[in-house]
């Protein structure tokens, strides 16, 4: 019951990282649809990798605030950076 009350108290606040995460998720879905329609579209691939990496980075930043999940947050940050880097590498290959 205590955790439920804390969640309800926190749910009234709009968190900017969650809002950016939702926008990045919508961008990811739109770019994936464009990739399935035109597989050689370099900019859609780059947009998908950038938004996916941004979502990982934002999740990592959010989890690093909790001391118990700090290492998981660091791994999310690293994976986000790798996804963004791979997006630029794939874009140069096409």
Domain that holds residue 69: 21-93
Could you write out the DSSP letters of every residue in 12-73?
TSPPHHHHHHHHHHHHHHHHHHHHHH-TT-HHHHHHHHHHHHHHHHHHHHHHHTSGGGHHHH
Per-residue DSSP letter, 74:
H
Do the domain assignments include residue 15?
A: no
Question: What would the pLDDT profile of 57-70 be if each residue is shown by its tens digit?
Answer: 999 988 988 888 89
Backbone torsions φ then ψ of 41, nearest 5 degrees: -75, 105
* Tally of CA atoms within 13 A in the half-sphere of 63 that contains its CB: 17
Over the Cα atoms of the chain, what is R_g?
16
Question: What would the pLDDT profile of 14-54 be if each residue is shown by its tens digit?
Answer: 678 888 889 999 999 999 999 999 988 889 999 999 999 99
Number of domains in the chain: 1
Do the domain assignments include residue 52?
A: yes
Whole-prediction pTM: 0.79
Q: 10 Å Cβ neighbour count for 13?
A: 7
Do the domain assignments include residue 5?
A: no
């Amino acid at each position: 019951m205590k955790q439920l009350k804390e969640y309800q108290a926190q749910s009234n606040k709009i968190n900017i990282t969650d809002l950016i995460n939702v926008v990045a998720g919508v961008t990811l879905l739109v770019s994936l649809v464009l990739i399935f329609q035109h597989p050689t579209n370099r900019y859609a691939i780059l947009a998908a990798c950038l938004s996916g990496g941004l979502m990982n980075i934002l999740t990592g930043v959010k989890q690093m605030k909790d001391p118990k999940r700090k290492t998981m947050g660091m791994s999310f940050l690293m994976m986000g950076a790798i996804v963004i880097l791979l997006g630029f590498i794939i874009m140069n290959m096409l």
